[in-house]
């Protein structure tokens, strides 16, 4: 993994589980240039299975970055204009400190000896990166799904460290349904005998079947019922009639299997356990005595919360609850619901109305931020 | 810029917090920020208008004023503005109460159904009136509860809503409305603007 930029974080970090860590790697990538006034930096947070390679060619997977639809030269978040930063979350598997890294105490990969981390731990570790890059105040923090949660966490933990924030398709805490779906993914991994309580990593193997099923669960939840029906319906996969077998007769089956097994090539099964856990533990209201209102008190950050009408994983209602909490705290908040059939995945695909909205917001925030800096 | 917006801007003091309910494309918010250094927020139901506001860097929440004003805490704004929309709600009384809960004061403007051109349209032509401020047909109008300045005046009295100021707009002229000139102003004002608390 030679193409991975890594920052060694030497300052100690007290995790929510009470363990203190230091001297750990944080892998990151940047796009565009930080301008002289340092008013064009945008911190992007990736979702559950994302990584730091936001756009362009991902040097590890050799595929396009996960947010290439929105970020890049001339795109909605224009890297000719903005300096985009993204770090691999701790607990992940693209170079940051995670369960497949070597534990210096044992000289073996952590596996389940890796501590259970939280969204707050993830965000705290990334703030160090900003110090390293010499950025005092960001123009914007943004991300979809778990990336949106990190955006909210960042604002709550580091008030006024960013001029604006754009949490997309997320919530301030995981619902029972969110936790249930994550548990399904974890159980799929753990039910695979290869998993072996996380020790597969020492044998240089991977519980592929379990991890693929976990990914399939995810893919179902990212699409809307209508979107799925329109895309696949009851269409058969390269055959005229049923096979009278358990092969992938239907296109939707073939799609899920393909997504599942492509995923195991690039992701670590233990990372899925740790990151889904971090999402489940996320409850911003629990971190502050006065609840959510307290979390967003005294914020000067300008928020834009975006939801998608057909997203059933993080519904418009849940996103609106974030807006209500921000309003109750007297924060400056905007909210837009994008009407689309593309479900939770809408932020990752080419959804013109969504892309126009984020471009409009970031460009107008940049003008305001520049003015603020001038004063 | 609509004359009405200029009148509303004149009614408002500088540096206050204002919620513009049904803020449209944000023209009024823009004016209030630039001319009065007002901290303006908007609530708007139409997606395309919401986006226009966002592109301008204005703070706007997509939502329905009839059902979603509850998200704003009590007295969290100095003023709440509702421009020519009260008549379009299912329950104007409930909305008005919400406006006065969220804002310390409310500025409510109404298209005046008592304006002489409206009256003559019905009287002479026997047709539902269509004017600049009431551009709809009877079958596609969003205006469910048309009222006159006099109706609004009586309604506020009945509900013990304090009217701090009432203005009538006719073309370029703005005049103050009181109990003494209510009948005549109700005939000659296109729009009525009520400052309530």
Domain-terminating residue out of A275, A305, A336: A275
| A146 and A36 assigned to the same domain | yes
Quick one: pLDDT at residue B171?
A: 86
In a domain, A118, yes or no: yes
B54 contacts on A by Cβ (under 8 Å): 304, 334, 336, 357, 360-361, 364
Alpha-carbon gap, residue A331 to A57, rounded angstroms: 38
Quick one: pLDDT at residue A353?
A: 96
| Residue from A299, A336, A356, A362 to probe the interface with B (highest B Cβ count within 10 Å) | A336
Alpha-carbon gap, residue A48 to A345, rounded angstroms: 12
The number of C-alpha atoms within 13 Å of A62 and in the hemisphere containing its C-beta is 2
Please state, as a whole number, how many other Cβ atoms lie within 10 Å of the Cβ of residue A339: 12
Tokens of B118: 């409206």
Mean pLDDT of chain A: 96
| A226 and A294 assigned to the same domain | no
CA angle, B108 then B110 then B112, to 5°: 150
Q: Provide the residue range defining the domain that includes A198.
A: 179-275
pLDDT at A3 over 90: no
Average pLDDT, stretch A139-143? 98
Report the DSSP beta bridge partners of residue A307. A337
**Annotated catalytic, A78?**
no
Q: Is A202 exposed, middle or buried (0-12, 13-18, 19+ CB in 10 A)?
A: exposed
Quick one: pLDDT at residue A281?
A: 98
Low-confidence ranges of chain B (pLDDT < 50): none
Domain-terminating residue out of A223, A249, A275: A275
Quick one: pLDDT at residue A2?
A: 64
CA diameter of chain B: 48
Residues 6 or more apart whose CB falls under 8 angstroms from that of A9 comprise A22, A23, A24, A25, A26, A125, A128
| Residue from A293, A307, A360 to probe the interface with B (highest B Cβ count within 10 Å) | A360
- Residue B169 near residue B7, CB atoms below 8 Å: yes
| A50 and A147 assigned to the same domain | yes
pLDDT digit string, tens, across residues A85-116: 999 999 999 999 999 999 999 999 999 999 99
| A255 and A293 assigned to the same domain | no
Alpha-carbon gap, residue B190 to B167, rounded angstroms: 11
How do beta strands A77-78 and A41-44 pair?
Answer: unpaired
Quick one: pLDDT at residue A164?
A: 98
In a domain, A126, yes or no: yes
In a domain, A280, yes or no: no
For residue A224, give the CATH number of its domain: 1.10.1740.110
Closest chain A residue to B60 measured between Cα atoms?
A334
Alpha-carbon gap, residue A147 to A89, rounded angstroms: 10
| A189 and A311 assigned to the same domain | no
Contacts of residues B7-15 at CB distance under 8 Å and 24 or more positions apart, as own/partner, are B7/B167, B7/B169, B7/B174, B7/B193, B8/B81, B8/B83, B8/B107, B8/B109, B8/B193, B9/B35, B9/B36, B11/B107, B11/B165, B11/B167, B11/B193, B11/B195, B12/B36, B12/B38, B12/B79, B12/B107, B13/B78, B14/B38, B15/B39
| A170 and A305 assigned to the same domain | yes
* CA torsion angle A50 A52 A57 A58 (round to 10): -70
Shortest alpha-carbon distance between residue B67 and chain A (Å): 13
| A150 and A259 assigned to the same domain | no
In a domain, A256, yes or no: yes
Q: For the stretch A131-162, what's the b/e string if a residue is b when 16 or more beta carbons lie within 10 angstroms of its beta carbon? A: eebebebbbbbbbbbbbbbbbbbbbbbbeebb
* Contact between chains at B62 and A364 (C-beta distance less than 8 A): no
Q: Select the residue of B51, B56, B57 nearest A357 (Cβ to Cβ).
A: B51
For residue A74, give the CATH number of its domain: 3.40.50.1820
* Whole-complex ipTM: 0.91
| A17 and A98 assigned to the same domain | yes
| A340 and A267 assigned to the same domain | no
Indicate the number of domains in chain A. 2
CA angle, A193 then A194 then A199, to 5°: 115
| A129 and A229 assigned to the same domain | no
Tokens of A243: 């096979």
* CA torsion angle B174 B180 B182 B187 (round to 10): -80
Residues 6 or more apart whose CB falls under 8 angstroms from that of B34 comprise none
| A164 and A190 assigned to the same domain | no
Cβ under 8 Å to B: A residues 20-79: none
Average pLDDT, stretch A188-208? 96
Structural domains in chain B, sorted by start? 3-196 (3.40.50.150)
Alpha-carbon gap, residue B150 to B52, rounded angstroms: 35
Report the DSSP beta bridge partners of residue A74. none
| Residue from B40, B41, B59, B76 to probe the interface with A (highest A Cβ count within 10 Å) | B59
A364 contacts on B by Cβ (under 8 Å): 54-57
Domain-terminating residue out of A275, A300, A319: A275
B56 contacts on A by Cβ (under 8 Å): 364
In a domain, A66, yes or no: yes
The number of C-alpha atoms within 13 Å of B65 and in the hemisphere containing its C-beta is 32
pTM of the full structure? 0.95
Closest chain B residue to A303 measured between Cα atoms?
B59
Report the DSSP beta bridge partners of residue A41. A83
A302 contacts on B by Cβ (under 8 Å): 59
**Annotated catalytic, A145?**
yes
Helices (DSSP H) in B40-148: which residue ranges? 47-55, 65-68, 92-102, 116-120
Helix axes A119-133, A146-157, angle to 10 degrees: 70
**Annotated catalytic, A151?**
no
Quick one: pLDDT at residue A119?
A: 98
Residues 6 or more apart whose CB falls under 8 angstroms from that of B158 comprise none
In a domain, A13, yes or no: yes
pLDDT at A375 over 80: no
Alpha-carbon gap, residue B50 to B68, rounded angstroms: 15
A356 contacts on B by Cβ (under 8 Å): 51
- CA nearest to B88, candidates B116, B61, B105, B108: B108
Quick one: pLDDT at residue A1?
A: 53
| A72 and A153 assigned to the same domain | yes
pLDDT digit string, tens, across residues A222-265: 999 999 999 999 999 999 999 999 999 999 999 999 999 999 99
Quick one: pLDDT at residue A224?
A: 97
């Amino acid at each position: 993994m030679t193409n991975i930029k890594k920052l060694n974080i030497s300052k100690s970090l007290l995790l929510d589980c009470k363990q203190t860590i230091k001297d750990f790697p944080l892998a990151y990538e940047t796009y565009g240039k930080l301008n002289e006034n340092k008013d064009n930096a945008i911190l992007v947070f990736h979702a559950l299975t994302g990584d730091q390679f936001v756009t362009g060619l991902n040097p590890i997977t050799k595929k396009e970055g996960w947010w290439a639809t929105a970020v890049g030269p001339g795109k909605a978040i224009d890297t000719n204009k903005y300096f985009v930063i993204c770090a691999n979350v701790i607990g992940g598997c693209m170079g940051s400190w995670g369960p497949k890294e070597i534990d210096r105490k044992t000289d073996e990969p952590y596996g389940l000896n890796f501590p259970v981390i939280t969204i707050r731990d993830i965000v705290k570790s990334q703030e160090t990166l900003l110090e390293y890059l010499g950025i005092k105040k960001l123009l914007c923090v943004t991300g979809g799904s778990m990336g949106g949660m990190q955006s909210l966490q960042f604002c709550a933990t580091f008030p006024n460290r960013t001029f604006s924030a754009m949490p997309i398709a997320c919530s301030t805490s995981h619902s029972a349904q969110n936790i249930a779906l994550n548990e399904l993914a974890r159980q799929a991994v753990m039910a695979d005998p290869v998993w072996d309580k996380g020790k597969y990593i020492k044998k240089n193997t991977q519980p592929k079947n379990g991890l693929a099923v976990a990914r399939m669960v995810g893919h179902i939840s990212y699409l809307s019922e209508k979107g799925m029906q329109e895309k696949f319906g009851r269409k058969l996969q390269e055959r005229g009639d049923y096979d009278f077998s358990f092969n992938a007769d239907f296109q939707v089956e073939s799609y899920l299997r393909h997504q599942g097994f492509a995923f195991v090539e690039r992701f670590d099964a233990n990372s899925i356990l740790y990151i889904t856990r971090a999402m489940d533990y996320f409850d911003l209201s629990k971190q502050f005595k006065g609840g959510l209102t307290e979390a967003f008190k005294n914020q000067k950050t300008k928020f834009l919360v975006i939801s998608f009408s057909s997203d059933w994983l993080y519904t418009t209602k849940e996103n609106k609850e974030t807006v209500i909490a921000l309003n109750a705290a007297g924060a400056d908040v905007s909210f837009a619901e994008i009407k689309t059939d593309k479900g939770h995945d809408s932020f990752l695909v080419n959804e013109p109305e969504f892309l126009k909205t984020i471009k409009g917001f970031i460009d107008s925030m940049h003008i305001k931020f520049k003015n603020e800096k001038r004063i | 810029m609509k004359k009405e917006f200029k009148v509303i801007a004149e009614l408002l003091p500088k540096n206050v917090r204002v919620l513009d309910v049904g803020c449209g494309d944000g023209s009024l918010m823009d004016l209030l920020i630039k001319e009065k250094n007002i901290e303006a927020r908007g609530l708007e139901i139409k997606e395309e208008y919401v986006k226009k506001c966002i592109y301008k860097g204005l703070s706007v929440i997509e939502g329905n004023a009839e059902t979603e004003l509850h998200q704003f805490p009590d007295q969290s704004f100095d003023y709440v503005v509702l421009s020519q929309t009260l008549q379009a709600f299912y329950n104007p009384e409930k909305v008005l109460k919400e406006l006065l809960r969220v804002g310390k004061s409310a500025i409510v403007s109404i298209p005046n159904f008592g304006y002489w051109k409206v009256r003559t349209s019905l009287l002479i032509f026997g047709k539902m009136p269509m004017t600049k401020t009431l551009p709809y047909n009877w079958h596609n109008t969003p205006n469910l509860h048309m009222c006159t300045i006099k109706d609004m005046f009586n309604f506020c009295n009945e509900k013990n809503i304090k009217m701090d100021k009432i203005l009538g707009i006719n073309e370029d002229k703005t005049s103050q409305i009181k109990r003494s000139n209510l009948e005549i102003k109700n005939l000659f004002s296109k729009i009525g603007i009520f400052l309530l608390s």
